[in-house]
Amino acid sequence: MIKLFVGLGNPGAEYEATRHNAGFWWLDALARELKLSLVLDKSYHGVVARTTVKGQTLWLLEPRTFMNLSGKSVGALARFFKLKPEEILVAHDELDILPGQLKLKFGGSHAGHNGLRDIHAQLGSADYWRLRIGVGHPGDKSEVVNWVLQKPSQEHRAAIEDALPRSLKALPMLIDGEMEKATMLIHTHAPLRPKPPRKPEPAPDAETGPTGAADKF
């Protein structure tokens, strides 16, 4: 049963549309779905909303620390309301998943994600849920930092935006603790497919020369 939904990102207009803020995009979509407004609460170092669904109190949180201090915000709210790690879901950008695809995961390592790293440290546990939002990989490890701090292409952003509301269909299951059903629903979403390779040009015939009809260069 999820009681705290967290979206990760960096504060500030310069980061708003970057891949690293995909967790914010998802939580904003969740807030719209629940008709909630997120308001600043300095006690929890972030913007927060609270509601009740089926008699259960739910919290929405976007840390307004920078990414590498996300746990400061999550830990403060979780400790005050005595929330267990397994009652927390953290939405974040994921390099190893294609744009347009989301995966639900419980526990495991932070895999180098600085937001998750700090949440691990502040909760003292890795046993919380993650909603991994695919942003794709640049193909070169040395380019990862630049990649996540840049805006996705229009095609990738559209694929991610299409996936977010579809994933919210699993919200009742997440609230009820039906995590297996939620996982199956979220994982059925189709990822963005790579564009097919261009067809090769036809081989030149004997009359047109080595560059075919384009033998003018």
Give the residue numbers marked as catalytic: 20
- Cα–Cα distances in Å, from 128 out to 3, 8, 52, 105? 11, 14, 21, 9
Nearest alpha-carbon partner for 63 in 137, 112, 106, 114: 114
DSSP letter assigned to residue 55: T
Give the three-state DSSP class for 53: strand
Say how many C-beta atoms besides its own lie within 10 A of residue 136's C-beta.
24
Dist CA 44 CA 62 (whole Å)? 9
Token pair of 60 as six digits = 């929405």
Query: Six-digit token pair at 55?
Result: 């008699």
Other CB atoms within 10 A of residue 116 CB: 22
The CA distance from 209 to 25, in Å, is 54
